[in-house]
Amino acid sequence: MKWRLKLVKGQNKFLSIFVKGLVTGLILQVAIGPVFFFVVNIVMQRTLLDGFFAILAVALADYCYIILSIIGIAKLLENNRLKRFLGFVSSLILILFGLYMVIAALKTIQFNTYTTNNLPDLVRSLYQLLC
């Protein structure tokens, strides 16, 4: 099939579509969300190379989502057993990530005897259990 570029009112239609897509993509790149703050945090705390690898990881994750959408993951999720299994696995991953974040935060806090004595018993027990 040969590609023919049609002229629409003196403009190249393909070029017009490309420019509109490029502008839309550039506008979407300005969106500030959690991934932006993740990358900024990595760059500020570590090196620029670590930030580059963080961006690479985010891009790979986005490509995985694109591939899953192309192969039709929605069709697979019509199966209720598979949907429940994936929900369980993703919930478990989020819970483990949350526990990791809590443990990391507790390890960075410098508790002395005065502060641990004034903590409620449940929080003190949790701190002693985790650390």
Tens of pLDDT, residue by residue over 39-49, are 888 888 998 88
Asked if residue 31 has pLDDT above 80, the reply is no
Asked if residue 4 has pLDDT above 80, the reply is no
**For residues 97-117, b (16+ Cβ closer than 10 Å) or e, as one string?**
eeeeeeeeeeeeeeeeeeeee
For residues 38 and 42, give the distance between their C-alpha atoms in angstroms, rounded to a whole number.
6
For residues 72 and 64, give the distance between their C-alpha atoms in angstroms, rounded to a whole number.
12
Give 67-101 pLDDT, tens digit per residue.
877 787 777 778 889 889 989 999 999 999 988 88
pTM, two decimal places: 0.43
Asked if residue 112 has pLDDT above 70, the reply is no
pLDDT in the model for residue 108: 75
pLDDT in the model for residue 95: 93
Grade residue 13 by pLDDT with cuts at 50, 70 and 90: confident
pLDDT in the model for residue 1: 46
